[in-house]
Chain A
Amino acid sequence: MRFGKDAAMARLPIPPRGSLFRQYFLVLFTAVAVPLLTAGGSQAWFGYQDQRARLNDLLGAEARNAAARIAHFIDGIESQLAWMVQLPWTGTVDERRRIDALRLLRQAPAVASLRLIDGASKERLAVSRIGLNRVESGAEASADPAVAGVRAGRVWFGPVTYHRNSEPYMTVAVAGNRAAAGIAVAEINLKLILDVVAGIRIGETGLALVLDRPGRLIAHPDISLVLRGAGDRTAETLQALRAAIVAQHGRAITGPDPAGRMVVAAMAPVQGPDWSVLVHQPVAEAFGPIRAAFWRLLALLLAGTGFAAALAYWLAGRMTGPIRLLEEGAARIGAGQFDHRIAIARGDELGRLASRFNEMAREVAISQERSERIDRLKRFLAPQVAELVDRVGDDSLLDGQRVEVVVVFGDLRGFTPFSARSEPAQIMGVLSEYHAAVGVCVDRHGATLVSLAGDGVMILVNAPVACPEPALRAARMVIEMQARVQALIGVWRARGHALGFGIGLAMGPATVGRIGSDSRLDYTAIGTVTNLAARLCASAQDGQILVDGTAAEAIAGGLPLVSLGTRQLKGFDDPVAVFAAAAGRKAEVQPAPDAA
Chain B
Amino acid sequence: MRRRDILGASAGALVGSLVARAARAQPPTRPALGYLGSETPERVASRLEAFRAGLAEAGLVEGRDVAIAYRWAEGRYERLPALAKDLVRSGVAVLVAPGGAPVVLAAKAATETIPIVFEMGGDPVALGVVDDLARPRGNLTGVSSLSVEVSNKRLEFMRELFPAAVSLAVAVNPTSPTAGSQLAGLRSAAESLGLRLHVLEASREDAFEALFTEPHRLGAPGLVFTSDPFFAYRSAQLAMLADRHGLPAITQSRDFPQAGGLMSYGGDFTQTHRQAGAYAGRLLRGEKPRDLPVQLVTKVELFANLLAAARLGVTLPPSILSSADVVIE
Tell me how far the C-beta of A187 lies from the nearest C-beta in chain B, rounded to whole angstroms: 13
Across the interface, A132 reaches (CB within 8 A) one of B135, B156, B323, namely: B156
> Could you tell me if B319 and A102 are in contact, using CB atoms closer than 8 angstroms?
yes
Q: Which of B152, B293, B295, B322 contacts A106 (CB 8 A)?
A: B322
A165, B152: Cα distance in complex, Å = 24
Q: Chain A's nearest CB lies how many Å from the CB of B290?
A: 10
- Is A336 in contact with chain B by the CB < 8 A criterion? no
Residues of chain A lying within 8 A (CB to CB) of residue B125: 164
Out of A99, A109, A131, A165, which one reaches B318, CB within 8 Å? A99
- Interface size (B, Cβ < 8 Å)? 29
Q: Which residues of A contact B300 (CB under 8 A)?
A: 129-130
Q: How far is the CA of A208 from the CA of B115 in the complex (A)?
A: 30
A105→B323 contact, CB < 8 A? yes
* 16 sampled A-B residue pairs with Cβ under 8 A: A109-B299, A129-B150, A130-B300, A132-B152, A132-B189, A132-B193, A164-B125, A165-B133, A166-B294, A166-B296, A189-B298, A223-B295, A227-B293, A228-B291, A229-B135, A232-B134
The docked-state distance in angstroms from the alpha carbon of A132 to that of B195 is 14
Q: Mark B273-307, 1 if CB is under 8 A from A, else 0.
A: 00000000000000000011111101110000000
11 new A-B contacts, CB < 8 A, other than A106-B322, A224-B293, A224-B295, are A129-B146, A129-B150, A132-B189, A164-B133, A165-B133, A167-B133, A224-B291, A227-B295, A228-B135, A228-B291, A229-B135
Question: Lowest 9 CB-CB distances: which A-B pairs, in order?
Answer: A227-B293, A229-B134, A166-B134, A166-B133, A102-B323, A103-B322, A99-B322, A224-B292, A129-B300
Residues of chain B lying within 8 A (CB to CB) of residue A227: 133-134, 293-295
Q: Is B78 an interface residue (CB 8 A)?
A: no
B312 to chain A, nearest CB (A): 22
Interface residue? A98 (CB, 8 A):
yes
Expressed in whole angstroms, the Cα–Cα distance for A432 and B291 within the complex equals 129
Distance, CA A131 to CA B189, complexed state (A): 9
Q: Does B153 contact A (CB under 8 A)?
A: yes
**Once the chains are docked, how many angstroms separate the CA of A189 from the CA of B298?**
8
Rounded to whole Å, the gap between the CB of A165 and the closest CB of chain B is: 5
Task: Determine whether B65 belongs to the interface, using a CB cutoff of 8 Å to chain A.
Answer: no
Closest to A105 in B: B323
For residue A435, CB closer than 8 A to chain B, the reply is no
A132 near B192: Cβ-Cβ < 8 Å:
yes
Contact call A192/B319, Cβ cutoff below 8 A: no
Interface readout for B59-103 with A: 1 if CB under 8 Å, 0 if not?
000000000000000000000000000000000000000000000
The answer to whether A130 and B146 have CB atoms under 8 Å apart is: yes
B325 interfacial by beta-carbon distance below 8 Å: yes
Return the chain A residue nearest B152 by Cβ.
A132
B44 interface residue per 8 A CB criterion: no
**Bound: A162/B133 CA distance, A:** 11
In A209-229, the 8 Å CB interface with B consists of: 223-224, 227-229
Say yes or no for B132: interface residue by CB 8 A criterion.
yes
In whole Å, how far is A100's beta carbon from the nearest beta carbon of chain B?
8
Residues of A contacting B193 with CB < 8 Å? 132
Q: Counting CB contacts under 8 A, is A320 at the interface?
A: no
Shortest CB-to-CB span from B213 to chain A, Å, is 29
B259 at the A/B interface (Cβ < 8 Å)? no
CB contacts under 8 Å to A, within B133-156, are 133-135, 146, 149-150, 152-153, 156
Query: How far, in angstroms, from A98 to B319 measured CA to CA in the complex?
Result: 8
Inter-chain contact B189/A167, CB cutoff 8 Å? no
Is A133 part of the binding interface, using a Cβ–Cβ cutoff of 8 Å?
yes
Residues of B within 8 A of A166 (CB): 133-134, 293-294, 296
Residues in B whose Cβ lies below 8 Å from that of A130: 146, 149-150, 153, 300
- Report the bound CA distance from A133 to B322 in whole Å: 15
A191 on the B face (CB < 8 A):
yes
Docked Cα-Cα span, A114 to B299, in Å, equals 16
CB neighbors of A among B106-136 (8 A): 125, 132-135
Q: Could you tell me which residues of chain B, from 181 to 210, have a CB within 8 Å of some CB in chain A?
A: 189, 192-193
Q: Are A109 and B134 in contact (CB under 8 A)?
A: no
Residue of B nearest to A133 (CB): B156
Residues of A within 8 A of B192 (CB): 132
- For B298, the chain A residues whose CB sits under 8 A away are 109, 189, 191-192
Closest approach, in angstroms, between the C-beta of B190 and any C-beta of chain A? 10
A191 / chain B contacts, CB cutoff of 8 Å = 298
Task: Give chain A residues whose Cβ lies under 8 Å from the Cβ of B152.
Answer: 131-132
Please, which residues of chain A bring their CB within 8 A of the CB of B294? 166, 227
Q: Which residues between 163 and 179 of chain A lie within 8 Å of chain B, taking CB atoms?
A: 164-167
A162: B residues at CB distance < 8 A: 134
Say yes or no: is B324 at the interface (Cβ < 8 Å to chain A).
yes
Please indicate the chain B residues that have their CB under 8 angstroms from the CB of A223 in the complex.
295
Cβ-defined contact, B293 with A99, below 8 A = no
Chain B residues whose C-beta falls within 8 Å of the C-beta of A103 in the assembled complex: 322-323
Interface string of B28-47 (1 = CB under 8 A from A): 00000000000000000000
Q: Which residues of B have CB within 8 Å of A109?
A: 298-299
Bound complex: CA of A227 vs CA of B192, how far in Å?
33
One digit per residue, 1 when the CB lies within 8 angstroms of any chain B CB and 0 when it does not, for chain A 124-135 equals 000001111100
- Closest chain-B Cβ to A268's Cβ sits at a distance in Å of 26
A-side contacts of B132, CB under 8 Å: 165
Q: Which chain A residues lie closer than 8 Å to B291 at the CB level? A: 224, 228
- A232 vs B318: C-alpha distance in the bound complex, in angstroms? 45
Most chain A CB within 10 A, of B133, B149, B291, is at B133
Check B134 against A165 for contact (C-beta < 8 Å): yes
| Chain A residues, CB < 8 A from B156 | 132-133
Contacts of B323 in A (CB 8 A): 102-103, 105-106
Partner of B319, one of A99, A165, A167: A99
Of chain A, the residue at the smallest CB distance from B135 is A228
CB pair A102–B322 under 8 Å, yes or no, is: yes
User: Nearest-CB distance from B210 to chain A (Å)?
Assistant: 29
- Determine the chain A residues whose CB is within 8 A of the CB of B325 once the complex forms: 106
Cα separation A10 to B193 with both chains bound (whole Å): 106
Instruction: Output the least CB separation between B186 and chain A (Å).
Output: 11
A98 to B299 alpha-carbon distance, docked (Å): 21
Docked CA distance A106–B327 (Å): 13
